[in-house]
A and B are shown apart, each in its own frame.
Chain A
Amino acid sequence: MTLKNDLIRLTLADAREGLRQKKFSSLELTQAYLDAMAHHRGMNAYILELPEIALGMAKESDKRLAKGEGGALEGLPLAIKDIFCTEGIQTTAASHILEGFKPSYESTVTQKLKDAGAVFLGKANMDDCAMGSANITSYYGNVISPWKGSNGKDLTPGGSSGGSAAAVAAGLAIAATGTDTGGSIRQPAAFTGTVGIKPTYGRCSRWGIIAFASSLDQAGPITRDVRDAALFLEVMAGHDPKDSTSSTREVPSFEKSLSQGVKGLRVGIPKEYRLEGMDADIVNIWEKGAAWLKEAGAEIIDISLPHSKYSLPAYYVLAPAEASSNLARYDGVRYGLRVPGRTLDELYENTRSEGFGAEVQRRVLMGTYVLSAGYYDAYYLKAQKVRALIAQDFQLAFQKVDVILTPTTPTAAFALDETPTDPVVMYLNDVLTVPANLAGLPGMSVPAGLSKEGLPLGLQLIGPAFDETVLFRMARVLEDAAGFTPFLER
Chain B
Amino acid sequence: MDNKYFYEGSSGPWELVIGLEVHAQVTAQSKLFSGAAAAFGAEPNTQVSFVDAGMPGMLPVINEVCVRQAVKTGFGLNAEINLVSVFDRKNYFYADLPAGYQISQFTRPIVGKGYLDIELEDGTTRRIGITRLHLEQDAGKSIHDQHPDKSYIDLNRAGVALMEIVSEPDIRSAEEAAAYVRKLRAIVRCLGTCDGNMDQGSMRVDVNVSVRKAGASFGTRAEIKNVNSIKFLAQAIHYEAERQVALLEEGQEIVQETRLFDSSRGTTRPMRNKEQAHDYRYFPDPDLPPLVLEAEWVEEIRKTLPELPDAKKTRFMKDYELSAYDAAVLVSEMETASYFEEALKCLDPLTPKTAKLLANWLIGEVFGALNRENKALEACPISPAHLSGLITEIQKEVISGKIAKEVFSLMWETGKEAEILIKEHGLQQVSDDGAIIAIIDKVLAENGSMVEEYRGGKEKLFGFFVGQVMKAMAGKANPELVNTLLKQRLDS
* Other-chain residue from A98, A104, A244, A328 in contact with B59 (beta carbon distance below 8 A): A244
Give bound CA distance, A334 to B54, whole Å. 9
* Other-chain residue from A105, A241, A329, A373 in contact with B100 (beta carbon distance below 8 A): A329
Binding stretch for chain A, among B10-18, B278-286, B412-420: B278-286
Give bound CA distance, A376 to B281, whole Å. 8
> Is the CB–CB distance between A85 and B61 below 8 Å?
no
The proximity string for B residues 154-172 relative to A, scoring 1 for CB distances below 8 Å and 0 otherwise, is 0000000000000000000
* Other-chain residue from B55, B56, B60 in contact with A244 (beta carbon distance below 8 A): B60
Binding stretch for chain B, among A58-66, A208-216, A258-266, A267-275: A208-216
Give bound CA distance, A243 to B62, whole Å. 10
Give bound CA distance, A335 to B98, whole Å. 11
Interface size range on A against B: 35 or more
> Is the CB–CB distance between A91 and B286 below 8 Å?
no
* Other-chain residue from B91, B153, B279, B287 in contact with A328 (beta carbon distance below 8 A): B91
Q: Nearest CB to that of A345 among chain B residues?
A: B93
Knowing A101-B56, A107-B57, say if A325 contacts B283 (CB, 8 Å). yes
Q: Is the interface of B mostly helix, strand, loop or mixed?
A: loop
Q: Which residues from 80 to 96 on chain A have a C-beta closer than 8 Å to any C-beta of chain B?
A: 85, 91, 93
- Give every chain B residue within 8 A of A372 (Cβ-Cβ): 279, 281
- Give every chain B residue within 8 A of A93 (Cβ-Cβ): 56
The proximity string for B residues 42-66 relative to A, scoring 1 for CB distances below 8 Å and 0 otherwise, is 0000000010011111111110000
> Is the CB–CB distance between B61 and A244 below 8 Å?
yes
Q: How far is the CB of B84 from chain A (nearest CB, A)?
A: 15
Does A120 sit within 8 A of B, measured CB to CB? no
Knowing A209-B57, A344-B95, say if A104 contacts B50 (CB, 8 Å). yes
Give bound CA distance, A70 to B160, whole Å. 42
Does B246 sit within 8 A of A, measured CB to CB? no
* Other-chain residue from B58, B62, B91, B286 in contact with A213 (beta carbon distance below 8 A): B286
Give bound CA distance, A74 to B93, whole Å. 45
> Is the CB–CB distance between A371 and B56 below 8 Å?
no
- Give every chain B residue within 8 A of A245 (Cβ-Cβ): 286-289
- Give every chain B residue within 8 A of A211 (Cβ-Cβ): 56-57, 287
Does B89 sit within 8 A of A, measured CB to CB? yes
> Is the CB–CB distance between A244 and B287 below 8 Å?
yes
> Is the CB–CB distance between A329 and B281 below 8 Å?
no
Knowing A214-B286, A372-B279, say if A325 contacts B101 (CB, 8 Å). yes
Give bound CA distance, A51 to B252, whole Å. 74
> Is the CB–CB distance between A207 and B98 below 8 Å?
no
Q: How far is the CB of B277 from chain A (nearest CB, A)?
A: 11
Q: Which residues from 345 to 363 on chain B have a C-beta closer than 8 Å to any C-beta of chain A?
A: none
Q: Which residues from 12 to 34 on chain A have a C-beta closer than 8 Å to any C-beta of chain B?
A: none
Q: Which residues from 73 to 96 on chain B have a C-beta closer than 8 Å to any C-beta of chain A?
A: 89, 91, 93-95
Does A322 sit within 8 A of B, measured CB to CB? yes
- Give every chain B residue within 8 A of A128 (Cβ-Cβ): none
> Is the CB–CB distance between B100 and A103 below 8 Å?
no
> Is the CB–CB distance between B281 and A368 below 8 Å?
yes
Q: How far is the CB of B405 from chain A (nearest CB, A)?
A: 61
- Give every chain B residue within 8 A of A209 (Cβ-Cβ): 57
Give bound CA distance, A206 to B286, whole Å. 12
Q: Nearest CB to that of A83 among chain B residues?
A: B57
Give bound CA distance, A210 to B282, whole Å. 22
- Give every chain A residue within 8 A of B57 (Cβ-Cβ): 85, 103, 107, 206-211
- Give every chain A residue within 8 A of B308 (Cβ-Cβ): none
The proximity string for A residues 90-124 relative to B, scoring 1 for CB distances below 8 Å and 0 otherwise, is 01010000100101110100000000000000000
Does B99 sit within 8 A of A, measured CB to CB? yes
Does A466 sit within 8 A of B, measured CB to CB? no
Does A139 sit within 8 A of B, measured CB to CB? no
Knowing A214-B286, A372-B281, A380-B283, say if A328 contacts B61 (CB, 8 Å). no
Q: Nearest CB to that of B56 among chain A residues?
A: A210
The proximity string for A residues 364-400 relative to B, scoring 1 for CB distances below 8 Å and 0 otherwise, is 0000100111001000100000000000000000000
> Is the CB–CB distance between B99 and A329 below 8 Å?
yes
Q: How far is the CB of B146 from chain A (nearest CB, A)?
A: 16
Name 25 A/B residue pairs within 8 A (Cβ), A-sorted.
A103-B56, A207-B59, A209-B57, A210-B57, A211-B56, A211-B57, A244-B59, A245-B288, A245-B289, A322-B283, A324-B91, A328-B93, A328-B99, A329-B99, A330-B56, A333-B153, A334-B53, A334-B54, A335-B56, A344-B151, A368-B281, A371-B281, A372-B281, A376-B282, A380-B283
Given A329-B98, A344-B151, 13 more A-B residue pairs with CB atoms under 8 Å apart are: A206-B57, A206-B59, A211-B57, A214-B286, A214-B287, A241-B61, A245-B288, A325-B89, A327-B100, A328-B99, A329-B56, A333-B95, A373-B279
Q: Which residues of A contact B (CB under 8 A)?
A: 85, 91, 93, 98, 101, 103-105, 107, 206-211, 213-215, 241-245, 321-322, 324-325, 327-331, 333-335, 344-345, 348, 368, 371-373, 376, 380
Q: Which residues of B contact A (CB under 8 A)?
A: 50, 53-62, 89, 91, 93-95, 98-101, 151, 153, 279, 281-283, 286-289
